[in-house]
Amino acid sequence: MVSESPSRRSAFAELSHAELASLVPELLLSGQLIDRSGMAHSIKAFGREGMAAVAIEEWQVASPVYTRRMQRALNFTGDDVVTIFKGLQLDIGAPPQFMDFRFRVDDPRHGEFWLDHCGALADVEPMGEDYVRSMCHDIEDPTFDATALATNPHARVRPIHRPPRVPADRHPVCAWTVVIDPAHEPPPIPPNADIVAESAAARVELDPIDPDDPGRPDYSGPLLSDLRFTDFSRAALIRMADEVCLQHHLLALGFVIAIRSRTDAASATEIVRKQFTGIAGLTSERLRDALGLGRDEAALARVLALHPAWNPLRYTGVRVETGDSEVALRLPKASGAIADGVWPTVVDADHLAPLEAMARGVDPHYVAEVAADTDDELVVRFRLGDTAFRESGEVAITRFSTGADFRFTDRGIPLPLTVV
């Protein structure tokens, strides 16, 4: 039985409204954890300063592209502070609650945000003040501006205070102003921005949201203190899920470009494969738990079908098949993802580590085997073995993040944020 069509339908269309509302924040958090996986290997290859440079480059080129995509999809295009803040609420750089952004709007051109909790800071503080400064100063300054300029090129994001925290338990952990002023000189366009802007991921067309589906069809209207995903329509959540998966791929593309500019092709592929392996395994585990799935073949098939690495289907063309107590993953050798050179390109018949990690995030007993390797596709079959495999080092590194065990909570009815 084929579990989804690779050409027209979203894999997320198989889910109920409740499942989608649980899954979207999980996908946002998974996108944040991509860097928990990739940056560890960047530090090893290039040192702390090189890692920071890679992070700056990947977010600078990716976030403006996916921010504008989400604005169009959810119908909140504009050029003011409210539009910037709405974009942050649907950005893998700011997953809800884990990166607990709070907002204040003074007028359309002035506002503030602060973080009551920062999961990224919780991950980095144990590494020492130099790493905190790399993240909260070196990386945040140019990347916050890059995200804001997707809405208005004259927007500037500047700190009120930020870590290292003094005192050590200071709350909120940081606070920032956002000011839009025509006198602000737009920052220069970063190198390689055109590659990402013209990528297949940037240009893939997804189905519009059905406005007649029950629930909120978009994010027009006031800025809300939190997004309660159950308030959105099923159609809106399906589109959100696919857009968030594209955010993963666009960030991965930015990472690939930054890594390849710093090392030879073989070393770059190895780093990207390790990044993919780490996030693939942890994401499978969290998807399994979020949907209340078991560990059998049906659970694995569902996790594979919904994994952000293989979505949206119009971008990856991946198929998942089940039958005879086995699950098969069909990876085409021609797709938008292959053309962009992102995660599917580092998987081949001799390099199945990301797929093994993905399956073992559901159950550590899964074995991955090549069933077919043709000019058109790679087919990998999964079956339950007798022996549990140890967690890979790449997944263990990613699990270092507090996001690995993070749990979302119901915060009740969100409040509209009006001008102070």
Q: What is the pLDDT of residues 316-325, one digit of tens each?
A: 999 999 987 8
The label of the residue with tokens 């409210």 reads 82
179: nearest Cα among 207, 206, 149, 201: 149
pLDDT at 3 over 80: no
Region 21-35 average pLDDT: 97
Looking at residue 258, its pLDDT comes to 98
What is the Cα–Cα distance from 249 to 92, expressed in whole angstroms?
Answer: 11
327: nearest Cα among 360, 349, 292: 360
Q: What is the largest CA-CA distance in the chain?
A: 66
Q: What are phi and psi of 157, to 5 degrees?
A: -110, 120
Please state, rounded to an integer, the average pLDDT across all residues of the chain: 95
| List of residues 6+ apart from 41 with CB closer than 8 A | 271, 274, 275, 397
Tens digits of per-residue pLDDT, 317-355?
Answer: 999 999 878 899 999 999 999 999 999 999 999 999 999
Tens digits of per-residue pLDDT, 6-23?
Answer: 445 899 999 999 999 999
pTM: 0.96
Burial class (CB in 10 A: 0-12, 13-18, 19+), 168: exposed
Report the chain's terminal Cα–Cα distance, integer Å. Answer: 56
Region 350-362 average pLDDT: 98
In the chain, the percentage of residues whose pLDDT exceeds 70 is: 98
Tens digits of per-residue pLDDT, 72-93?
Answer: 999 999 999 999 999 999 999 9
SS3 track for the chain: CECCCCCCCCHHHHCCHHHHHHHHHHHHHHHHHHHHHHHHHHHHHHHHHHHHHHHHHHHHHHHHHHHHHHHHHCCCCCCCHHHHHHHHHCCCCCCCCCEEEEEEEEECCEEEEEEEEEHHHHHHHHHCHHHHHHHHHHHHHHHHHHHHHCCCCCEEEEEEECCCCCCCCCCCCEEEEEEECCCCCCCCCCCCHHHHHCCHHHHCCCCCCCCCCCCECCCCCCEECCCCHHHECHHHHHHHHHHHHHHHHHHHHHHHHHHHCCCCHHHHHHHHHHHHHHHHHHHHHHHHHHCCCCCCHHHHHHHHHHCHHHCCHHHHCCEEEEECCEEEEEEECCCHHHHHCCHHHHCECCECHHHHHHHHCCCCCEEEEEEEECCCEEEEEEEECCCCCCCCHHHHHHCCCHHHHCCCCCCCCCCEECCC
pLDDT at 113 over 80: yes
Tens digits of per-residue pLDDT, 278-288?
Answer: 999 999 999 99
pLDDT at 1 over 80: no
Looking at residue 323, its pLDDT comes to 83
Q: pLDDT band at 178, cuts 50/70/90? A: very high
Looking at residue 299, its pLDDT comes to 97
Q: Determine the Cα angle at 105 with ends 101 and 108, to 5°.
A: 125
Looking at residue 8, its pLDDT comes to 56
Looking at residue 324, its pLDDT comes to 77
Region 147-159 average pLDDT: 95
pLDDT at 5 over 60: no
| List of residues 6+ apart from 135 with CB closer than 8 A | 52, 55, 120, 121, 124
pLDDT at 254 over 60: yes
